[in-house]
Chains A and B, each alone.
Chain A
């Protein structure tokens, strides 16, 4: 009641209105400071050309570790990640395969070097499991859903470093 009276009285004068605006701005800044925390850093919202943000690293580490373990080399020689578009990630991870939708989606592309056997691959009965020294994984940057993965015996023709700043992972 007292608060409403004070606001009503202030609203009746010019000085009071100015005071209300300053007060509201101060309250707004206070609320921002309380909930927003540190200012946004470059790369905190994933976008092609920006580095993978530190906040994404634990989930990418976990995904990379899972792929490495399932596919027979739990300790790959190195693992890196970049932010790019789905279409460009496919050029690197699964060259020759294209999809008709979703090409502009922002993704993380993880690339690992090691000695992999595709135990996670779906293969016909009796077929040899695919093997490779490079394993690439494409991850939706918004949902962290796995979109694509590929195994290759040679380094990606489109290198991850050509797509953006590379961050090394430690799965």
Chain B
């Protein structure tokens, strides 16, 4: 079978998703990058990240997201990003807040409902707010997003959690499942039980 072409117009994915989740106040985990690379960083990007649905969207029509990126628009460097896509004409916005992103290091990432149509977006050394982005979460997703077949995306996310509407923390994404993935992803699996650790790989890091 020919490899699926990954491009800006046809992004490739290796993810686990929990669609139609119970209403929630956010989610997160500890993300780890073994490698994060694209052969054409001026035009393409590789992301390893987490999406948190908003506005009662069971299929992630609206969201906040955060993670690590390499490539466009900041070129041949690894960097943090967060983004949101809001309802009611709010539009799509992406942000690059700075901070060190090293390989082989575990970093906390999370999104938490903050009331009054706001979500706190929490990176390891930075935080931000997405507003005009209504309650509540009904979907979450994590893994790799790729726009070029030269990408290397090897990593994992551990200690996945979500918050119920009372703010209680639940370990593991119990209702999440691994989605059919692009052929550039050579492996994608849960580690252990409880859907609390997901690992993904495009193969070797070199």
Contacts and interface: CB of A to CB of B under 8 A. Distances in A.
Contacts of A127: 60-61, 85
Interface residues of B, number: 47
Contacts of A118: 92
Interface stretch (A7-15, A18-26, A141-149): A141-149
Contact of B94 (A124, A125, A150): A150
A121 B69 CA distance: 12
A123 B73 contact: no
B93 A102 contact: no
Interface residues of A, number: 34
Contacts, number: 113
Interface string B106-149: 00000000000000000000111111110000000100010000
Main secondary structure, interface of A, reads loop
B90 interface: yes
Contacts of B73: 66-67, 70, 120, 146, 149
B173 interface: no
Interface of B: 8-9, 11, 13, 15, 17, 42-43, 45, 47, 49, 51, 59-61, 63, 65, 69, 72-74, 81, 83-86, 89-98, 126-133, 141, 145, 179
Given A124-B65, A146-B73, A150-B93, 6 more contacts: A70-B8, A94-B91, A99-B127, A100-B126, A122-B145, A152-B91
